[in-house]
Structure 1
């Protein structure tokens, strides 16, 4: 299997930076879309009275809004462009290596969501602080989560910028700033109120329009069976669970662990759980979202196969797999169908962009600023810090997205290693084993953070997957810390934060 990171999204950006002939139809659709989400942001600003509204919707998210907000948050540029591109490059093996892990994560979270919601906090570091009995856990975990959210934000902007540049003809460097600016603005205005309601609109459009696109491709190419037969004829490895043989069972297992871990440790997910109006709603929204996402990803992978067959039949090829779906839109399907597909892609990408922007603001204000001010900051001050940090991280991510450091899938894999290595083992052991020493949990977080991404940065020596190294070192740190520190009492200054 080819490594998506080796394909170099930076070269793709250079190739598309000049744009092309302006397509007034697609450009018009995009402008209307941006105006719609801005209008929702303006309305949400009027509905946001305090920092509790901005952070967690006043903890009144109902089942319907929570479900579609989670679905839209879950589906991103990775899903709509990256996954289809991965199918174009490597076939159905992505189902084994990534999507299976993601769906396991949603299923697994369902069985622990009641424990998370019972703690009645705002953020993931709040929970870690209570589980460890150490306030310093808040900024430590907060910095890990900020790095994850920021990288995720960059890849969303890259995906949106590449897509819109190709379909509208507007140069990439201009489009990336337009997209970043609009989503910074409406997220700053209404916080989770803006995010949740735009997610409802975008999630519904996304699932419906992907279904329409799949129906069109299926009918155009002669049916699902025909597509699968032609897909297999292109390369028998495309339909093999492990691809062409270079995707080993060990690599699959490491990938499943990594992506399983990202669900359990996502700040955006924890914020949404804590924003629901009850434990019952928290469980319902995960169960319903899991069903919707399972159907959606099945459709998306089938659409990836159809994209590969359609481009091949038309004699169209792409040098970068991330361009497969945009090229299908501009060069293969009629404008009417292309319009439908664009709505789906933009909905998937931009719903996740606002979520990560919101998470950056909440994490900075709640988990870092509030800690270093000794918990004395007023609600008004926390609201201001949330908004200013949202603007700052948004501008910085947009600037990086102008010349990004890797492909969408490559960036996605890096943050999966980071989150899983740092937080999966220590946090969920502490959640179920409340006598685990807090300092042992912190040691585990620090070792996982250092060894997972660090091992990947060194090129995974000896063929050991970075996820295994990170999780393994986190487990070793937790075990040693438990043995050495068990029975020690925390000092009064290290007591956990109380419930909000």
Structure 2
């Protein structure tokens, strides 16, 4: 593939801008509190756009559109609905989370259980999730840029990896939040422009849906082309619902806000913006499928659907706009997950085993861990173990099975014995992930098995052990 200098130049300029913001963030980061939680001074609109940008990723703009190309609108029943339901419900517990005034999810779990050793246990699960998320973001970004610029994938993945590692290491959440503000605004506006162009070019939204159904009636059917079942969609809803509640980056952002009012506002505002954006992405997926069909283009790798649309269908001027939007979506999520991995390692693993150490040392460990996980994810992304959506579903099962029931039931029922909560986390993780690795035998969704196992462990453990009076006392 020949190198496209116009696309390559635009991409290079974009990377220089986000690096400049990262360098500026470095000057605003004076201590570990700044690096981890923005000095707990994240305002309402900066928090809102940072959350929107963090939420929309390679999964949405590359993987989600690719899945619609593959199986039709049925994707939105399991993924979009679960995610939006999760944000809506998180709003009602965000006050309780912010009130506890912790930094990370393992902090919260240690408070609920009264066992500090739960911090490294839960941190290992969270780091596995973060690593998977980093891999799929890098795959999406590199596939996109390789397709549009002609630069070989194995080189581009390292270039992108270096850039997002660099600006995240420099400024922590300060750099992440401000680059997210730029990227979130750009992403949102440019995706609207892309859909408007395709709608005009293909005869309008109604025409797009009519043509999409004409390609295959299953494209607009609730269950798609037999890929989904009712129970499968319900399992997917539970999985993606759970990821919103159990994401380390979400907990960090909630605790980085100025106060409870700001925490609630940013979730409510982001929920509205993301609900609209999900509709835009669904329609953009259908429009992409129709446009490629009309152009006589068939793809084996569905993750390439959107990148190929840019290079082989859209005018260069429009393609540049969409490139910037897509890269904004991808990098804004990647930096958030990388930042969370650094915080988790320094606070919940190193902090637990090292004991009372200086904040300067914790800040150094955060930065070292950020580099390590960034490089490790980049190396794996050179030869990824699956498609973007398959990786996303795997980490959704991991998070939801491990944390959804134990953490949030424990948040409101503080008499639960801490050992029972931890056992529920471990068993839920083992069952959910193990069932997924076995391929989900008997048609039972892995999430159902993981969450069900966690619930049964809590119930049985509570009957055997009884009430943790120390936990109940701490709740007071």
> Is 1:262 aligned to residue 243 of structure 2?
yes
Which residue of structure 1 aligns with residue 448 of structure 2?
Answer: 468
The aligned runs of 1:106-121 (5 Å cut-off) are 106-121=87-102
For residue 41 of structure 1, what is the aligned residue in structure 2? 22
Within-5 A mapping of 1:150-189: 150-189=131-170
Partner of 1:32: 13
Please point out which of 362, 366, 370 is paired with 1:386. Answer: 366
2:13 equivalent to 1:22: no
Q: Which residue of 2 aligns with 1:313?
A: 294
Residue 119 of structure 2 aligns with which residue? 138
1:282 to 263, 280, 289: 263
Q: What is the aligned partner in structure 1 of residue 426 from structure 2? A: 446
**Normalised TM-score (structure 2):** 0.98
Are 2:417 and 1:437 aligned? yes
SS class of match (1:49): coil
Given that residues 25 and 170 in structure 2 are in contact (C-alpha distance below 8 angstroms), is that contact kept between their aligned partners in structure 1?
yes
Q: What's 1:487 paired with?
A: 467
1:397 to 377, 398, 409: 377
Structure 2 residue 322 is matched with structure 1 residue 341: yes
- Higher mean Cα deviation, 460-469 or 160-169? 460-469
**Deviation at 1:463?**
1.7
1:444 deviates by: 0.2
State how far apart, in whole Å, the 1-side matches of 2:216 and 2:246 are.
37
Match 1:244 to one of 225, 235, 242? 225
What's the CA shift string for 1:160-191, capped at 9, x where partnerless?
Answer: 01110110111111111110011111100000
Q: Deviations over 1:10-55 (max 9, x none)?
A: xxxxxxxxxx211011000110011001000100000001000000
SS at match of 2:2: coil
**1:258-297 deviation digits (Å, cap 9, x = unpaired):** 0000000000000000000010000000000001101111
Q: Given that residues 416 and 467 in structure 2 are in contact (C-alpha distance below 8 angstroms), is that contact kept between their aligned partners in structure 1? A: no
**Is 1:72 aligned to 2:49, yes or no?**
no
CA contact (8 A) 1:444 1:474 kept: yes
Question: What residue ranges of structure 1 are gaps of 5+ in the alignment?
Answer: 1-19
CA shift, 1:487, in A, is 3.3
Could you tell me whether the CA contact under 8 Å between 2:134 and 2:338 is conserved in 1?
Answer: yes
Q: Distance in 2 between matches of 1:487 and 1:364?
A: 32
Does structure 1 residue 478 correspond to structure 2 residue 425? no
Which residue of structure 1 aligns with residue 277 of structure 2? 296
Does the Cα contact within 8 Å between 2:342 and 2:370 map onto a contact in 1? yes
Matching residue of 2:182 = 201
> Whole-Å Cα distance in 2 between the matches of residues 113 and 487 of structure 1?
26
Contact 2:168–2:339 (CA<8 Å) still a contact in 1? Answer: yes
| SS of equivalent residue, structure 2 residue 225 | coil
Match of 1:102 among 73, 77, 83: 83
Could you tell me how far 1:246 is from its partner in structure 2? 4.2
Aligned partners of 2:415 and 2:469 also within 8 Å: no
Kept in 1: contact 2:416–2:468 (CA 8 A): no
What is the Cα deviation at residue 244 of structure 1? 2.7
**Matched residues in 2 for 1:213 and 1:489: separation?**
58
In structure 2, relative to structure 1, the CA distance for the partners of 1:53 and 1:496 (3 Å cut) is farther
Distance in structure 2 (CA, Å) of the matches to 1:89 and 1:241: 14
CA distance in 2, matches of 1:144, 1:247: 28
Does the 8 Å CA contact 1:135/1:496 hold for their aligned counterparts?
no
Match of 1:221 in 2: 202
Kindly provide the CA deviation profile for residues 114-147 of structure 1, in whole angstroms up to 9, marking residues without a partner as x.
Answer: 0000000100110111011111111111111000
Name 2:214's counterpart in structure 1.
233
Q: 1:285-330: CA deviations, max 9, x gaps?
A: 0000001101111011101111111110111111111011011000
Instruction: Note if contact 1:134-1:496 (Cα within 8 Å) is conserved in structure 2.
Output: no
- Deviation of the 1:490 alpha carbon: 5.3
Q: CA deviation at 1:247?
A: 1.3
Counterparts of 2:403 and 2:337 in 1: how far apart (Å)? 18
**Cross-structure match for 2:68:** 87
8 Å contact 1:41–1:186 — kept in the other structure? Answer: yes
Post-superposition CA distance 1:389-419 (Å, at most 9, x none): 0000100000000001000000000000000
Q: Distance in 2 between matches of 1:292 and 1:480?
A: 42
Spell out the pairing of 1:344-363 with structure 2 (5 A cutoff): 344-363=325-344
1:117–1:488 distance in 2 versus 1, CA, 3 Å: closer
SS in 2 for 1:406: coil
Distance 1:232 1:449 in 2: 39
2:35 is matched with 54
Report how far residue 488 of structure 1 moved: 4.6
Identify which of 413, 426, 429 aligns with 2:393: 413
Q: How many residues align?
A: 474
| 1:68–1:200 Cα contact (<8 Å) kept | yes
TM-aligned CA deviation for residue 489 of structure 1 = 4.8
